[in-house]
Amino acid sequence: MTSLNRIALTLFFAIVMVSGGQAAEIKLMSSGAMKVALIELIPAFERATNHKITANYPAPGVIKDRIVANELVDVLVFPAPGVDDLIMQAKLVAESKVTFARSGMGIAARSGAAKPDISTPEALKRTLLAAKSLIYTDPALGSPSGLHFAKVLERLGIAQEMRAKSKLHDGVGFNAEFVARGEVEFAIQQISEIVPVKGVELLGPLPGDLQLTTVYATAIGARASEQDAPKEFIKFLTSPVAAAVIKATGMEPTGL
């Protein structure tokens, strides 16, 4: 049993004693940075409550477009600025919003490969210029990490030089998977999307003021089929025991 599975079992016993009410179906949408944590948390919640969660993890821009187009979502897990924007558009319930985690960006290298220096902006610039290839999420998808890294390349003054050896990912899956398969030398993404990928190692976080810390929040959809079950899941998601899983997957729990 993995450490995450042991934590999930603890979560099961922690909530089974307090859950009640009729079983419900919950439609959840989440950006990919929370996917690994949610994969661990959702089954424990379902076993304890008899609620059923259907989770989808599209690219952030796709999620936002679908919700703006009035697609039904019961619970959204998303970067906090995007949650705020959807609240302003009356697509989410304002009073249901809870901030619960944050994550920084990092760079992945293949396990066992050389570990070049990225500890300062200048060191990162040298490493990127020397790299054979790299991958980051297509900024056009509205991904915070993709948008930010494109700006990092501009700040470092190497955007033009990096264009030919950069692969823009479609936001489905983890960028580091390309590194694990030996297709790309480095991957840039949220640290929580690097840590779970086998065959890669975290080279390090983006240095200094080149770092982007993304804060994640959750809220109930304005068109949610019912309120009680989504509230119960959000309470569970923001509990101290859930925080252990969030931390184990490379994120920092907040607000507890």
* pLDDT tens readout for residues 99-153: 999 999 999 999 999 999 999 999 999 999 999 999 999 998 888 889 999 999 9
Read off the pLDDT of residues 194-237 as tens digits, 9 standing for 90 and up: 988 999 999 999 999 999 999 999 999 999 988 999 999 999 99
In eight-state DSSP terms, residue 91 is S
Enumerate the β-bridge partners of residue 30: 77
Bigger pLDDT: 179 or 59?
Answer: 179
Which of the four pLDDT bands, split at 50, 70 and 90, describes residue 3?
A: low
Residues 23, 92, 217: CA angle, nearest 5 degrees = 85
With contact defined as beta carbons under 8 Å apart, do 241 and 247 qualify? Answer: no
62 vs 35, 53, 121, 151, 239, CA distance in Å? 16, 20, 32, 21, 28
With contact defined as beta carbons under 8 Å apart, do 128 and 156 qualify? Answer: yes
Q: Measured between alpha carbons, how far is 187 from 115 in angstroms, rounded to an integer?
A: 13
CB neighbourhood size of 206 (10 A): 21
With contact defined as beta carbons under 8 Å apart, do 128 and 162 qualify? Answer: yes
Instruction: Give the domains, in start order, of the chain with CATH numbers.
Output: 3-102+214-253 (3.40.190.10), 105-210 (3.40.190.10)
User: Could you tell me the strand order of the sheet in which 25-30 lies?
Assistant: 52-56, 25-30, 75-79, 214-220, 98-103, 252-253
